[in-house]
Amino acid sequence: MITVKDHSTGRLFDPWAYLGPKRRKLLENSWAGVFRTYLLEKLPVSKVAKHFNDWTGRPTKELHTAIGVVLLQQLHDLSDPEVTETLAFNTQWQYALDIIDESDAGSYLSERTLRNYRRIIIDANLEKVLFNELTDTLIAAFDVDTSKQRLDSTIIRSNMRKYGRILICATTIRKFLKKLRRTHKKLYDSLITAEIIERYMAKNSENIFSRVKPSGTSKTLQDVGNDLLYLIECFRPYETVCALPEYQLLERVLSEQFTVTGSGPDATVTSKPPKEVPSDSLQNPSDPDAAYDSHKGSGYQAQIMETYHETKDKKKPNLITYVDVEPANIHDSHALQPAIDAVSERGCTPDELVCDTLYGSDDNVQQAVPKHVKVIAPVQSTGSSGETALCDFTFDPDTNFATRCPEGHEPVRVRRTKKLSIIASFDREVCGVCPRRTSCPIYLGKRAASLYYTDTEARNAQRRAFEQTTTFKDRYRWRAGIEGTNSHLKNDVGADRLRVRGLVAVRFAVTLKALGLNILRCAEALSAAPRALITTLFGLKSSNTAFVYSLYDKILTFVSIDARQLKCAS
């Protein structure tokens, strides 16, 4: 049976009156007040209710409470036992979830029930629904301007240990042997040799492999590779064993870390040089989805897009509008268009999107133009400084035809070839005596001096020239602010090192943590709104506000005015 309470209808008596006006004001201006006022009724209760029967079975937990607890767990980075205890005794949580029933049915949620509801939300992919709908609600409630946004990625580490190549192979073998012993005991007893059992199944086997001296690394890696090949060939005829995920990990590690030559009894194994190991290779058998990036390290990366304001207005929070999680080895350039499409579907498309060089390829910039998005990003540098480059020429922005060289000379003729390249012909005699002759990209032929380039090169040249202007520097400097958001996401809501493993679980946790950060930022804006109103109305300077703030607190306490009812002056 489905249990859903009506949280929109007011009550005759205020159940929170016992708190007193000061504590009540703290609640209303905290994250709990933001959640209760703006988000509680927006939770996707109907989508979770589809997994239960309205007529049979035991009554469900109140669905607003169940979904809200899953979200608040990620906001506060709590374990399952901590969630059960916090819901039972924490006034902020009970206020946020509108729980006035002090019985176990209203204020208690077991760890098993929490896991069940979390699994429902993950399987139904509802974390995206939660993030999109609740973030859009906050954007509308706090009148957030989405015309200017910025995009960046940050590394996210799951709950996995960092392994070297030897430990990756040894742990994969140990994991397969444990699974084989549990599911195919007869094959394990008959085919696994005593030497392999002693090497990988002993209690101190992991310590043996982790203490290998640098001089013995190559030999140990070769021995482990031979054991991998032996196990794979030994159990290849058994289809039930080949279907095990642990056996498939053996094959993956062998192909990623080693080169196999020959076949059958003549097969030999040679370890690959580190540079030849792919970036998406297995980093830990406990988390096969994690990958490796030479700059960021092992794990996952989160693509984060947020709004920003060029004026310091504490009443308008900067909110994350898009978040996605992918393996760490995927290049950032692939994330720009999905991010723009995602926010466009929700009606919060940016006019300007500021991002770093990795997102600013010419293809990305051109694909964003029909979507009415101007990408502000540097072009990847080429060539050494001090030389005459294509960006020193002047181009027509509509046709990409060169109109003037760095010395101010106009071309004699400009034409487009059949291969879609452009040739700008200059006077040979003038170019022959030019002081830039040795560093100029113009080719001095027998009849003319020609400049060969493509449309992409012309556009990049114009962008490089624009990068040197004050206008670009003033607009691009706002990109640095998202580094602070990445830091807040990791430190304030615990996204730096998660409690889970696997791409699905990591994406679920990071998405809800980004939503939790939005809630915290809205709470800060809510607390700043009344004081900002007083400063605006009285025209006070920062040094004269202390007395008026204290007077405001006394008046608010006396008349019990809800701070959110005060409309902030623009």
Residue 238: the pLDDT is 93
Where is pLDDT greater, at 47 or 211? 47
Q: How far apart are CA 19 and CA 505, in angstroms?
A: 38
Q: What is the mean pLDDT of residues 505-523?
A: 96
Residue 205: the pLDDT is 67
Give every strand in the sheet of 413-416, ordered side by side: 413-416, 421-426, 449-454, 443-444
Q: Indicate the residue type of 115.
A: R
Instruction: State both tokens at 540.
Output: 């006070």
Residue 553: the pLDDT is 52
Q: What is the pTM of this model?
A: 0.85
Q: Indicate the residue type of 227.
A: D
Give the long-range contacts of residues 110-117, CB within 8 A, separation 24 or more.
110/84, 111/80, 111/81, 111/83, 111/84, 113/61, 113/66, 114/69, 114/70, 114/73, 114/80, 114/83, 114/84, 115/80, 117/48, 117/61, 117/66, 117/67, 117/69, 117/70
Q: How far apart are CA 40 and CA 288, in angstroms?
A: 36
Using the Cα atoms of residue 38, residue 39, residue 40 and residue 43 in order, give the sign of their dihedral.
Answer: positive
Instruction: State both tokens at 383.
Output: 């060539």
Report whether pLDDT(231) > 90: yes
3-state SS assignment for residue 395? strand
Q: Which of 67, 65, 527 is nearest to 315 (CA)?
A: 527
Which runs of consecutive H residues, i.e. helices, occur in 346-422? 362-368
Q: What is the mean pLDDT of residues 501-511?
A: 96
Q: How far apart are CA 88 and CA 109, in angstroms?
A: 8
Where is pLDDT greater, at 34 or 540? 34
Q: What is the DSSP string of 346-362?
A: TT---SEEE--GGG--H
Q: What is the mean pLDDT of residues 193-221?
A: 80
Report whether pLDDT(559) > 80: no
Where is 321: in which H helix or E strand?
strand 320-327
Report whether pLDDT(138) > 50: yes
Q: Which of 534, 514, 96, 532 is nearest to 318 (CA)?
A: 514
Between the two ends of the chain, the Cα-to-Cα distance in Å is 48
Q: Which of 446, 287, 523, 475 is nearest to 377 (CA)?
A: 475
Report whether pLDDT(323) > 80: yes
Report whether pLDDT(542) > 50: no
3-state SS assignment for residue 150? strand
Instruction: State both tokens at 26.
Output: 């703290």
Report whether pLDDT(44) > 80: yes
Decide if 142 contacts 317 (C-beta within 8 A).
yes
Q: What's the pLDDT band for 387 if we cut at 50, 70, 90?
A: low
Instruction: State both tokens at 455.
Output: 């449309």
Q: What is the DSSP string of 233-263?
A: HHHTT-HHHHTSHHHHHHHHHHHHHEEEES-
Work out the percent of the chain whose per-residue pLDDT is above 70: 90
Residue 531: the pLDDT is 53
Listed ranges 392-401, 449-458, 501-510; the one with the highest mean pLDDT: 501-510
Q: How far apart are CA 131 and CA 323, in angstroms?
A: 9
Q: How far apart are CA 37 and CA 79, in angstroms?
A: 26
What's the full length of the chain, in residues?
570
Locate the domains of the chain by residue range. Answer: 1-124, 165-276, 390-462
Instruction: State both tokens at 148.
Output: 């200017």
- Give the pLDDT confidence of 422-446 residue by residue, as tens digits: 999 998 888 888 888 888 888 988 8
Decide if 346 contacts 369 (C-beta within 8 A).
no
- Give the pLDDT confidence of 88-106 residue by residue, as tens digits: 999 999 999 999 888 888 8
Residue the block writes with tokens 């073998």: 173
Angle 514-519-524 from CA coordinates, rounded to 5°: 125
Report whether pLDDT(544) > 60: no
Q: What's the pLDDT band for 178 if we cut at 50, 70, 90?
A: very high
Query: Which phi and psi angles does 137 have, rounded to 5°?
Result: -65, -45
| Range name among 256-260, 265-269, 346-350, 526-530 with the lowest pLDDT average | 526-530
Instruction: State both tokens at 88.
Output: 């039972």
Instruction: State both tokens at 397.
Output: 């922005």
When the pLDDT of each residue in the chain is averaged and rounded to a whole number, the result is 87
Q: Which of 294, 316, 292 is nearest to 306 (CA)?
A: 316
Beta bridge partners of 325: 302
Q: What is the mean pLDDT of residues 462-474?
A: 92
- Give the pLDDT confidence of 356-385 residue by residue, as tens digits: 999 999 999 999 999 999 999 999 876 545
3-state SS assignment for residue 222? helix
Decide if 315 contacts 567 (C-beta within 8 A).
no
Instruction: State both tokens at 374.
Output: 């101007």
Q: What's the pLDDT band for 486 if we cut at 50, 70, 90?
A: very high
CB atoms within 10 A of CB 198: 10
- Give the pLDDT confidence of 74-92 residue by residue, as tens digits: 999 999 999 999 999 999 9
Q: How far apart are CA 133 and CA 140, in angstroms?
A: 11
Residue 293: the pLDDT is 86
Q: What's the pLDDT band for 332 if we cut at 50, 70, 90?
A: very high
